[in-house]
């Protein structure tokens, strides 16, 4: 074994599962497994130490499970498989009740019942919330539960003979580098890098769960709580991807330093926030001096039934049309042209209401923009913010169309022993994520994955912790890292940070606009050019410890690989009949990417053919209508 690699000590006497991800889905998965007596290696940062995610204005309660199910499928353009979504809607109520029992302080009305707000894509108020920090409060509550079962490996570096089953061992400063596979291509652990010592560490496991976000770094989103390149690691190991071209378009984002974006939650729109631009494209007045008669509330006019709470993709397309096609953004007197932004206005509400219902989100907006949303409208723009496709995951449906909750197939990937618990997988949202469903999917995904992994481990032999493959994989990862670190600094070289900014710009143009052959061609050319430059790039830090330059370069190379995957999937999508609802499948093929119609998947020791067809079940595709009258234009799936 090389001097920069090591193998973590094993713990005997119980099953051991590795969960990679420190967010809601990772915490939920770890808690579910540990509560069942499984020892968990939880790899990833403590969420409270990262940028708080404010992209969810609440969590759907599922008071009317059938309505939530139908709205979720319709909002996603009928591109989501039906059984997982039906289970999501059915379990929503029990999940919210459980969150309340562990201390999430959901806001209440005067009668003591849950206060509910309406979010995008919903017909009626149905989302519970905690001011403007629903994500943070749920994360902190889960952290408290996990902390009761956790210990740090520093406390005791080796196995404890008297250690009870169900302990969670935290590895906070580690990053996923590679998957360890046996001769049958079964996942038997991971190779991670200690970001302090920069050593490669082999972590054997009876199963591995990826609970990270998708490749959001290429969109400039501050979303994921772990390195988003985990999806690329699985892809290079042979995992099949599904719908890689489907991304969440968000109509209200604010650009922050380094080209990243701050995503406003739909809570602002849920609290009667409205989009508008001046009717006169050259109106130089400040917002408060523009009377209502001179404002174009473009979403309310186009969709009188839903107004500004149409699904995010429809709202984002409308914002993009106003800014780019019609050139009717906000006039800049200094530049003497329109900037590609629109107003999101909630200044008509009393300051006490804004503080009570939005809380920390209003404070964050003021800190980032210098504008108090209670006093003046925010300037926002549309952007692609996160991936809705991802690693293909399986599920088991009962004859009546429901989900078999304890099946080992749920959330399993095409690599045996590898599971995907959250938005790194593909199965809940289709082409657009309905407001309030992001948290719900992460929580339910964690619960289902924990139960599925436990069932899987019960039927599998324990992993041999002394297997030579761990040493070989760790040495290979260390050699690859050393090669990155040894890259020469040339005149034509580009830094990873510079190339990452350019990647965000290139992918943003493709994903925010209506897809077309021309846009896909331009994106393919841009990705190829960036890949060639990345091949010559070198890290901007050569320190032997706590080095972030080389890992950043490694992540960039992986993001470029996923960007290529997005482009190829978008090309395949354009070739599909637009009235068809089909999953686009793709996998790595050497240095290229192969779009496939079907593949063979191991289920219970048997090979089963999987194709991209989506069973419409009880909800066949239909036009997406978001208005009360029949004169409104429709959005086809």
Convert the pLDDT of each residue in 388-418 to its tens digit: 989 999 999 998 888 998 899 999 999 999 9
* 308-313-319-324 Cα dihedral, nearest 10 degrees: -170
41 and 161 part of one domain? yes
Same domain, 353 and 410: no
Residue 112 lies in a domain: no
Q: Does 213 reside within a domain?
A: yes
> What is the domain-level CATH number for residue 571?
1.20.58.100
pLDDT at 440 over 70: yes
* CB of 344 closer than 8 Å to CB of 337: no
Residue 443 has pLDDT above 60, yes or no: yes
Q: 12 pLDDT exceeds 80?
A: no
**pLDDT at res. 163:** 58
Task: Please report whether residue 76 resides in a domain.
Answer: no
What confidence category does residue 579 fall into, taking pLDDT thresholds of 50, 70 and 90? low
* Residue 41 and residue 154 share a domain: yes
* Mean pLDDT, range 101-105, rounded to an integer: 95
Q: Is the pLDDT reported for residue 207 higher than 80? A: yes
Give the domain extent around 552.
486-575
Nearest residue to 507 (alpha-carbon basis) of 214, 213, 220, 264: 220
Considering 527, 542, 575, which residue would you say is the last residue of a domain? 575
Comparing 399-403, 441-445, 473-477, 540-544, the range with the smallest average pLDDT is 540-544
Q: 530 with 547, same domain?
A: yes
Residues 291 and 420 in one domain: no
Sign for the CA dihedral angle at 281, 285, 286, 287 comes to negative
Mean pLDDT of 106-128: 92
Q: Is residue 48 part of a domain?
A: yes
Per residue in 501-557, pLDDT (tens digit) is: 888 888 877 877 778 888 899 989 999 999 999 988 888 877 878 888 888 889 889
Region of residue 480 (left: phi > 0; alpha: psi -120 to 50; beta: else):
alpha
- Residue where a domain stops, chosen among 384, 413, 445: 384
- Beta strand 241-242 with 585-589 is antiparallel
Identify the residue whose tokens are 């063979």.
Answer: 600
Quote the pLDDT of residue 10: 45
Q: Position of tokens 């036009």?
A: 623
* Residue 29 vs residue 262, higher pLDDT: 29
Say yes or no: 313 and 192 in one domain.
no
Residue 634, SS3 per DSSP: coil
Does the structure show a pLDDT above 80 at 261?
A: no
Residues 565 and 525 in one domain: yes
Please say if the pLDDT value at position 223 is more than 70. Answer: no
Q: Would 438 be classed as within a structural domain?
A: yes
- Find the distance separating the first CA and the last CA of the chain, reported in whole Å: 54
- 31: tokens are 């808690």
Q: In the structure encoding, which two tokens stand for residue 272, read together?
A: 């009667």
pLDDT over 60 (residue 636): no
> 291 or 52: which carries more pLDDT confidence?
291
Please indicate, yes or no, whether residues 397 and 322 belong to a single structural domain of this protein.
Answer: no
d(CA 332, CA 168): 54
Domain end point (choices 467, 497, 527):
467
Residues 44 and 174 in one domain: yes
106 assigned to some structural domain? no
151 and 294 both lie in a single domain: no
Query: pTM to 2 decimals?
Result: 0.91
Task: Based on the fold, state whether residues 225 and 143 are members of the same structural domain.
Answer: yes
Helices (H), 168-326: 230-236, 267-270, 298-302, 312-320
Give me the number of domains the chain comprises: 3
Phi, psi angle pair for 20, to nearest 5°: -105, 110
In the block, residue with structure tokens 């949303």: 373
Query: Roughly what angle, to the nearest 10 degrees, separates helices 134-147 and 437-458?
Result: 30
Q: What is the pLDDT of residues 35-71, one digit of tens each?
A: 999 999 999 876 544 444 445 789 999 889 999 999 9
Query: Which residue in 354, 356, 357, 384 sits closest to 366, CA to CA?
Result: 354
**What's residue 543's pLDDT?**
82
Which of these ranges, 87-101, 275-289, 438-452, has the smallest mean pLDDT? 275-289
Domain presence at residue 337 = yes
34 and 169 part of one domain: yes
Distance CA 441, CA 395 (A): 14
Residue 365: the pLDDT is 87
Per-residue pLDDT band for 202 (boundaries 50, 70, 90) equals very high
**pLDDT bucket at 31, cuts 50 / 70 / 90:** very high
Share of the chain above pLDDT 70, in %: 89
Within a domain: 320: yes
Indicate whether 82 pLDDT > 80. Answer: yes
**Average pLDDT of the segment spanning 67-92:** 94
Half-sphere exposure of 205 (CA within 13 A, CB side): 32
Q: In CATH, what number is assigned to the domain containing residue 302?
A: 3.90.700.10
Share of the chain above pLDDT 90, in %: 44
The Cβ of residue 18 has, within 10 Å, a number of other Cβ atoms equal to: 27
Residue 485: closest CA among 428, 540, 564, 411 = 540
Q: Could you tell me the CATH number of the domain that includes residue 235?
A: 3.50.50.60
Residue 353 pLDDT > 60: yes
- CA 208, CA 187: separation in Å to the nearest integer? 7
Round the average pLDDT of the chain to a whole number and report it: 85
- CA 290 from chain centre, in angstroms, equals 38
**Measured between alpha carbons, how far is 29 from 454 in angstroms, rounded to an integer?**
11
Closest CA to 270 of 56, 112, 51, 104: 56
Residue 297 in tokens: 């509330």
Strand bridging mode 168-171 / 39-43 = parallel
Confidence of residue 220 (pLDDT cuts 50, 70, 90): low
**All residues at 6 or more sequence positions from 565 whose CB lies less than 8 Å from its CB, including other chains:** 235, 241, 244, 586, 593
């Amino acid at each position: 074994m090389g001097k920069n690699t090591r193998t973590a000590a094993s713990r005997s006497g119980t099953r051991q599962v590795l969960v990679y991800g420190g967010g809601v889905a990772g915490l939920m998965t770890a808690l579910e497994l540990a509560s069942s007596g499984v020892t968990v290696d939880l790899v990833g940062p403590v969420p409270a130490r990262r940028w708080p995610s404010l992209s969810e204005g609440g969590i759907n309660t599922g008071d009317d499970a059938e309505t939530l199910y139908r709205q979720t499928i319709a909002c996603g353009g009928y591109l989501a498989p039906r059984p997982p979504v039906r289970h999501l809607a059915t379990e929503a109520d029990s999940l919210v009740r459980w969150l309340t029992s562990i201390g999430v302080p959901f806001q209440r009305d005067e009668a003591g019942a849950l206060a509910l707000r309406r979010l995008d894509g919903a017909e009626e108020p149905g989302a519970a919330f905690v001011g403007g920090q629903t994500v943070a409060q749920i994360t902190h509550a889960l952290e408290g539960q996990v902390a009761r079962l956790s210990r740090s490996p520093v406390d005791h570096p080796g196995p404890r003979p008297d250690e009870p089953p169900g302990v969670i061992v935290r590895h906070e400063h580690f990053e996923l580098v590679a998957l360890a596979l046996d001769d049958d291509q079964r996942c038997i652990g991971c190779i991670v890098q200690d970001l302090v010592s920069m050593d490669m560490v082999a972590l054997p496991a009876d199963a591995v769960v990826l609970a990270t976000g998708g490749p959001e770094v290429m969109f400039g989103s501050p979303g994921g709580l772990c390195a988003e390149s985990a999806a690329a690691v699985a892809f290079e190991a042979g995992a099949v991807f599904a719908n890689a071209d489907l991304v969440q378009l968000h109509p209200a984002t604010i650009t922050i330093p380094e080209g990243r974006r701050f995503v406003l939650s739909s809570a602002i729109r849920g609290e009667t926030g409205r989009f508008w631009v001046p009717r006169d494209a050259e109106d130089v007045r400040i917002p408060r001096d523009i009377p209502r008669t001179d404002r174009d509330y473009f979403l309310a006019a186009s969709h009188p039934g839903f107004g500004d709470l149409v699904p995010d993709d429809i709202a984002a397309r409308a914002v993009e049309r106003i800014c780019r096609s019609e050139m009717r953004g906000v006039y800049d007197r200094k530049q003497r042209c329109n900037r590609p932004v629109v107003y999101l206005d909630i200044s008509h509400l009393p300051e006490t209401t804004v503080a009570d219902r939005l809380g920390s989100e209003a404070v964050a907006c003021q800190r980032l923009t210098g504008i108090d949303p209670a006093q003046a409208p925010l300037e926002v723009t549309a952007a692609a913010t996160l991936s809705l496709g991802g690693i293909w995951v399986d599920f088991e449906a009962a004859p009546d169309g429901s989900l078999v909750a304890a099946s080992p197939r749920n959330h399993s990937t095409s690599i045996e022993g590898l599971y995907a618990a959250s938005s790194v997988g593909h199965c809940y949202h289709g082409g657009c994520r309905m407001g309030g469903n992001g948290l719900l999917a992460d929580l339910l995904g964690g619960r289902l994955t924990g139960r599925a992994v436990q069932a899987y481990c019960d039927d599998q032999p324990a992993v041999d912790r002394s297997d030579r493959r761990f040493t070989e994989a760790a040495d290979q990862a260390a050699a690859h890292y050393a090669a990155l670190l040894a890259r020469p600094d040339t005149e034509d070289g580009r830094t990873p940070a510079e190339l990452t900014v350019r990647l965000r710009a290139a992918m943003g143009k493709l994903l925010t606009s209506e897809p077309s052959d021309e846009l896909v061609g331009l994106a393919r050319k841009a990705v190829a050019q960036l890949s060639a430059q990345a091949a010559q790039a070198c890290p901007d830090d050569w320190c032997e410890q706590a080095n972030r330059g080389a890992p950043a370069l490694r992540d960039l190379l992986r993001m470029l690989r996923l960007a290529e995957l997005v482009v190829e999937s978008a090309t395949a999508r354009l070739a599909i009949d637009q009235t068809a609802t089909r999953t686009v499948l793709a996998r790595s093929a050497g240095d290229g990417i192969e779009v496939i119609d079907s593949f063979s998947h191991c289920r219970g020791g048997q090979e089963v053919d999987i194709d991209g067809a989506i069973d419409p079940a009880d909800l066949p595709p239909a036009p997406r209508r978001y208005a009360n009258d029949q004169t409104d234009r429709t959005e086809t799936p």
